[in-house]
Amino acid sequence: MLKCKVAQLVEQAVIRAQRGGLIPSVALPQITVERPQNAAYGDYATSLPLKLARAARANPLSIAEEIAELIVPIPEIEKIAVAPPGFINFTVNNNWVVQQVESIRSAGEAYGDINLGRGSRVQLEFVSVNPTGPLHVGHGRGAVLGSTLAKVLTAAGYAVEKEYYINDAGTQIDAFYRSLYARYRQALGTPFEMPPDGYHGSYVMELAQEIIAENGDKFLSWSPEEAAWELGKLGLDKMLNLIKADLKLLKVEFDLYFSENSLYEGGQYQRVMSELGERGYTAEKEGAIWFVSSALGEDKDNVLVRTNGTPTYFASDIAYHYNKFSERNFDKVVNIWGADHQGHIARMKAAISALGIDPDRLRIIITQMVTLRRGGTELKVSKRGGDIVTLREVIDEVGTDACRFFFLSRAASSQMDFDLELAKKQSVDNPVYYVQYAHARISSILRFAQERGIEPSYGDVSLLTSQAELALIRKMTQLSEVIEAVADSLEPNYLPYYAQELAADFHGFYEQCRVISPDRELSAARLKLVDAVRIVLAKTLHLMGMTAPERM
């Protein structure tokens, strides 16, 4: 990336200035190069002189001037300028800019890829909802976030594995099993009371009826415990299949579905409990076994094994992360959890630290709630779910692409409103339509040119000199920086913003510059530019898991 090259030039100039006694010899902070908000200041800028001035108690403008004087010129940079209070601005050479059209067309779908990760292994665990009910829109947000991050991290040079953690053990699964048994009995006309902690959604009755259609009343003759267990396993498989089907509609797939039960069968739970005990991080109090997290700075200790001998969800989770880090040896683990898991972060990091694992290798993203609206009206009740709006209902209504774009449009840490009416609009008010229409318009232009025998391949990009053309190319060259920003921050909301900006620049170019004109040489050059936009826009849409339509 040119941005990295600029950062290296600045660093080399600072070192020369310090060695020559032109600026104070203070520790060199991290050099950041950014895009100025105002294009009048150039293409790149660094505020490094301001940071150095604070440490050296010197004039930042003077420091900026000394550094700028020692930056070695390179062909890509046309102008280096200093601006108050202490910025160094860089303007890219327009000849370099237009040549990027050739680079984009040559790279194709690989354009924008970087080697930030250098092949390090990252595990992304997301969705992981208990298989006791259908997915709702909140789960959909986490699913889209995770699958998009997987695509971006892969483009950034990481080896990524996507995983769904199946919570098929514990009290909630037991409650689901007993609920299904109750509904099974009721559906067969045998009075039976639902458990107090049961699942009351209509989908449980639908599951019971499916099982009756396949197996009849044979479980009535079994003991309640055996029948609940067998029915529960059947119901669990059906729920998992429904969840997988919903995720497939959303274009979300996993490399592995990992069973919580396997942690007990494979011995990870026992090993973790032993290791924590040997390291002095467990204690028996009040008939339960506790993780002594207070020894690691936590406010309170946490229960690992209840007084009745059953492990807590926290104990399973520690074993699961032991498996991720110590057995499967992932370099980094990223968990995407719902808002109700906020309080679980600190104790989880404390637990892996207690196992001798660097807690910085674990990144946890919390997704906030989604409010569905239809225009100005908030939706509260589902047609089928009883107390939720299911993910499938939303997908059926607005489509997969709109779901993915809107779920990505806000940072995970922000609550979001999802307007179903806006998501369905066939107008520029709908950002999904606006972005995809740009790609469809490009495809139409290229088809029109092909019908008239105008080939973009012989276009001379040096003819691309208008402000609209150059602004469009400059926007395309930012893709690798967007990929880097998402990979570093794990915030894929940069992508929909970039897609809208790129689409806006293309629409602006289209309005100002006639692509196919009597001037065949200029037409070929502009067709080459349009084809490059097609590549970059399609790549951006594909990173978001969306389609790049050729007709709309």
pLDDT at 260 over 70: yes
Q: In one letter, which amino acid is 352?
A: I
Sign, Cα dihedral of 32, 35, 36, 37: negative
Query: For the residues 66-90, what does the mean pLDDT come to?
Result: 96
Query: For the residues 232-245, what does the mean pLDDT come to?
Result: 96
User: Could you tell me the pTM of the whole model?
Assistant: 0.93
Under a CB-based contact definition with an 8 Å cutoff, are residues 249 and 402 in contact?
Answer: no
pLDDT at 140 over 50: yes
Least confident span in 92-101, 312-321, 383-392: 383-392
Structural domains of the chain sorted by starting position, each given as residue range(s) with its CATH number in brackets:
2-92 (3.30.1360.70), 171-249 (no CATH)
Q: How far apart are the first and last CA of the chain?
A: 34
Q: Tell me whether the omega of the peptide bond preceding residue 518 falls within 30 degrees of 0, making it cis.
A: no
Query: For the residues 238-248, what does the mean pLDDT come to?
Result: 97
Q: Could you give the CA distance from residue 427 to residue 442 in angstroms, rounded to a whole number? A: 17
Higher pLDDT, residue 265 or 379: 265
Q: Name which of 369, 378, 379, 433 is nearest 401 in CA terms.
A: 433
Q: Could you give the CA distance from residue 6 to residue 60 in angstroms, rounded to a whole number? A: 19
pLDDT at 427 over 80: yes
pLDDT at 247 over 90: yes
How does residue 386 score in pLDDT terms, banded at 50, 70 and 90? very low
Residue 39, pLDDT score:
86
Read off the pLDDT of residues 157-192 as tens digits, 9 standing for 90 and up. Answer: 999 999 999 999 888 899 999 999 999 999 999 989
How does residue 388 score in pLDDT terms, banded at 50, 70 and 90? low
Q: Name which of 110, 107, 154, 145 is nearest 126 in CA terms.
A: 145
Residue 114, pLDDT score:
97
Q: Could you give the CA distance from residue 546 to residue 432 in angstroms, rounded to a whole number? A: 10
How does residue 37 score in pLDDT terms, banded at 50, 70 and 90? confident
Query: For the residues 472-483, what does the mean pLDDT come to?
Result: 98
Q: Name which of 153, 164, 165 is nearest 122 in CA terms.
A: 153
pLDDT at 385 over 70: no
Q: Give me the percent of the chain exceeding a pLDDT of 90.
A: 89
Write down the number of H helices and E strands in the chain: 20, 14
Read off the pLDDT of residues 284-330 as tens digits, 9 standing for 90 and up. Answer: 999 999 999 999 988 899 999 999 999 999 999 999 999 999 999 99
Residue 382, pLDDT score:
47
H-run or E-run covering 92 = strand 87-92
Average pLDDT, the chain: 94
Query: Can you give the length of the chain in residues?
Result: 552
